[in-house]
Structures are given as structure tokens and as C-alpha cells.
Amino acid sequence: MKAIVFAAGLGTRLKPLTNDRPKALIEIDNKPLIWHALQNLKKWGVQQAIVNVHHFGNDVIDYLKTCEAGIDISISDERDLLLDTGGGLLKAKDFFNDGNPFFAVNVDVFSTVNLSDAMDYHLQSGALATLVVRKRETSRYFMFNDEKQLTGWINTKTGEQIVSRKSFEKSVPLAFSGIQVISPSVFDLITEKGNFSLTQMYLRLATDKKIVGYLDNSPFWIDVGKPGELTIAEKWLKNSDNTINSW
């Protein structure tokens, strides 16, 4: 199996830690975030991963040359232009040339979700993409109908809504976990150019394409995009029952 790790972001929420280093190399339990992400993917059977780089990209590339991740690593170089998740995925298109679905994960997410189950769910659903979601409080939600199909998006702080399907009004709000399974057929449907988000693309495609949610009820999830959350994740990892090998 293959995966892409989105690691090119500026890490603005982690300032001042990211003033002199990339987010991907911020450490938890004496290991960089990118190492944790790759180890988790390896556990679930990923053999090849591509990592996109931008902010302090040279440092990430140098680290990946010497780290012992246990899987083959390729680089998608965005040092000249940050492309966001959608543009980053499109740039890495040629890496996913085997016709098989693949994982896409954010480097700053820690989760106990069972990725094998998420992949099985994706394959059984026949979806273009499967978004791992949770019932948690946030300000931005994807909306899913009774068939777990994506119907739109809302921002509860601003009141902004994007409606993709008529069933939006009867849909349930769920929070995206920064983890997904994608079928390579999506590349034939991408019309966006340059810097664009996967959220933008999915909401366009959801009008007539099958994009579904996989509800993750596993014990732990956190986005370590802020210094306080780094501390929470480190405490969790140091618990004897929550070693990296038990992800």
C-alpha cells in the first residue's frame, strides 16, 4: 500500500516553535512528527509513502534521507510554491500509478483509528474518497446524510454553508480527522489548478460523486497543531498502554 503525508504546511499555529524549523520536525517523545506518522502508516501495512515539503523543506529532506522509517520514502518538492492539500495531492499524482486506493494523512494528527478497517470500508463502499471523521466539537464540519455520503460543509462560527446535495438539511455534522482513503480515479476528475484544498475539491465533486465518511470511535485522536496539544499527545504516548507500537 501507498500513502501521502501532508507535511508542507507553515505550522503557524505552532509558532514560535516553527520559527526556525518545519512542523514535521517538531518532536514528541524525542521523535519528530513525521517519524510518528510514518511509523503509524507502516503498522497498517503501508510500504511506500510520499511526503510533501515546503517550509524548511531542506531540513525535512535531510531528515528523511537518514531516518529509519522502515518504508520507502519519496519527496514531493513544493519548496518553490506551497500547494495546499489538493494541489499537493495533484503534484504527487505520478506516485500513485498502481491503480490502488491509498491513504492521505496530515503530519500533525495522532489517532488510534484502525486504518485497515477504514480501507475495507472504502473498498466496500466503492467511494471516490473516504474521509475519516469523529463526533467532536469544532467550528467546521463536513455534513453527511443517512447513507454516509458527503452533502456539504458548515462553519458554525461564521454561519457559512456550502451545499453539495439536496439532503444537506437532514444531514449530520461530523469533524474531519485529517485522515482519508482515496481512489486514484480522483485524479481524472480534478479540474482545479495550483494552490487549492481537498475540501474545496470534494465539495465540488460531492454533487454527483460518492464521497463518504468513516466514523472513527477509537479511543484517541488529537491534532497537535498547537503547543498545548503537543503536551497532551506526549503524555498519551508515554502512558505504558499507549506506546507507538500499539497504534
pLDDT of amino acid 247: 39
Q: Is residue 219 reached through a cis peptide bond, with omega within 30 degrees of 0 on the bond before it?
A: no
Closest CA to 180 of 122, 98, 123, 124: 122
Per-residue pLDDT reduced to its tens digit, 134-181? 999 999 999 999 999 999 999 999 999 999 999 999 999 999 999 999
User: Distance between CA atoms of 23 and 20, rounded to whole angstroms?
Assistant: 10
Confidence of residue 69 (pLDDT cuts 50, 70, 90): confident
Mean pLDDT, the chain, whole residue set: 94
Residue owning grid cell 511506500: 48
Per-residue pLDDT reduced to its tens digit, 110-125? 999 999 999 999 999 9
> Nine-digit cell at 66?
537518514
> Nine-digit cell at 149?
455520503
In the chain the domains, ranked by start, together with CATH numbers, are 2-246 (3.90.550.10)
The phi and psi torsions of 86 (rounded to 5 degrees) equal -70, -50
Confidence of residue 227 (pLDDT cuts 50, 70, 90): confident
Burial letters for 27-48: b for 16+ Cβ neighbours within 10 Å, e otherwise? ebeeebbbbbbbbbbbebebeb
Per-residue pLDDT reduced to its tens digit, 72-101? 999 999 999 999 999 999 999 999 999 999
pLDDT of amino acid 240: 46
Per-residue pLDDT reduced to its tens digit, 172-224? 999 999 999 999 999 999 999 999 999 999 999 999 999 999 999 999 999 99
pLDDT of amino acid 68: 85
CB 175 within 8 A of CB 134: yes
pLDDT over 80 at 246, yes or no: no
CB 103 within 8 A of CB 3: yes
